[in-house]
A = this chain, B = another copy of it.
Amino acid sequence: MTVPNKHILLMDGPDSKGLIYHVTGVLFRHNLNIIHNDEYVSPSGQFFMRTEFEGVFDNDALLDELKTTLPESANQSAITFRLNPKRKKNIVVMVTKEHHCLGELLIRYAFDELDADILAVISNYNVLQPLVSKFGIPFHYVSHEGKTREEHEESILRTLTIYEPEYLVLAKYMRVLTPGFVNHFPNRIVNIHHSFLPAFIGANPYRQAYDRGVKIIGATAHFVNNNLDEGPIIAQNVKEVDHRQTATDMATEGRDVEKIVLSQALKLVFNDRVFISGNRAIVL
C-alpha cells in the first residue's frame, strides 16, 4: 500500500536512550520530511512522541522497520506505534436540551473547521431537532422515558451501529453513562463538564459555585471513563465572576467557556495530539 500526503506517527512506551534518534533515522532513510516533532518523557519514565511528516511510503514496511530496528536498550514489546494519515474523524454528537455546544459544533462543521464529520446527532429530547435540521444532519430522538438506563443505552447503541463513529462527543448530554456503555468506546468519548474540575463534580456545578462564592468559574473537556467526571482532562478554561452573579448568571456566562473549551479539546483529539497516560492526558 502506498500512501501520499501528511501522516502522524504516534509512539509511546518506556523511555530509553536513542528513541528519537531511531525514529528520525527511519524516517530519514525513507526520505520522509518531518514537519513537526514533539516528545515528552514523564517523571515515571514513559516516553511519548508525535511526529507529523510528509512523503510517499509503504505503510506496513515503515511500521515494521520502526518496530524491529529499535535500539537494543529499548523494551520493544512495551512500545506501541500508531501511524495515521492526517484526515477528518467521523463522530456522533450526543446532546440533551442545551444548544450552545451543539450550535458551536454545527457552525464549525458547516464551514469545515471541525476536523471531523458529524454523522448524526442523538438526543434524549427532541428540542434541538430544529437546529440540527438546519444543517442537514440526521437527528435521532431516543427518549429515555419509560426505559431503564440499560434499555435506553441499548437503543442508543443500536443507533450508533448505523454510523460506527470513531468518537462520541457529549455536547452537554446530561445523563450519566454506565460502564457497560462506556466500555464500547474506550478513550473515544469526549465530554464537556460545566465546572473547573475537580471542583464541583456532579450535578448543578454553577449552583455549587455560587453557594461556595467562588470568584472564577470554568469548564473542563475530558475523556469519559467509568468514574463520573474523573476521566483524563484534555482542556480547561475559566472566567472571572463576582458576587453579583447568580447561579443562573454564572450558567449563562459559563456557556461561552464551555463551548470554546470543547471545541479546543476536540481539535486536539481529532488531530491525534492527545495521549492518555493513566488518568492524565498528554497533549503533544
Contact = CB atoms under 8 A, between A and B. Distances in A.
Interface of A: 17-18, 20-21, 24-25, 27-28, 31, 33-43, 71, 99-100, 103-104, 107, 110-111, 113, 131, 134-135, 196-200, 211-216, 218, 232-238, 240, 242-244, 246, 252, 256, 260, 263-264, 279-283
B243 A280 contact: yes
B33 A17 contact: yes
A36 B39 CA distance: 8
Given A17-B28, A216-B196, A39 B40 contact: no
B235 A238 contact: no
A39 B39 CA distance: 10
A279 B213 contact: yes
16 contacts: A17-B31, A20-B20, A21-B28, A25-B25, A100-B107, A110-B131, A113-B252, A196-B199, A197-B199, A197-B214, A198-B200, A212-B233, A213-B233, A213-B280, A243-B282, A256-B264
Nearest to A231: B213
Contacts of A40: 243-244
A31 to B, nearest CB: 8
B281 A213 contact: yes
Given A17-B31, A38-B38, 7 more contacts: A17-B28, A17-B34, A25-B25, A100-B111, A104-B107, A211-B279, A216-B236
A236 B31 CA distance: 40
Contact of A24 (B21, B218, B233, B236): B21
A37 B39 contact: yes
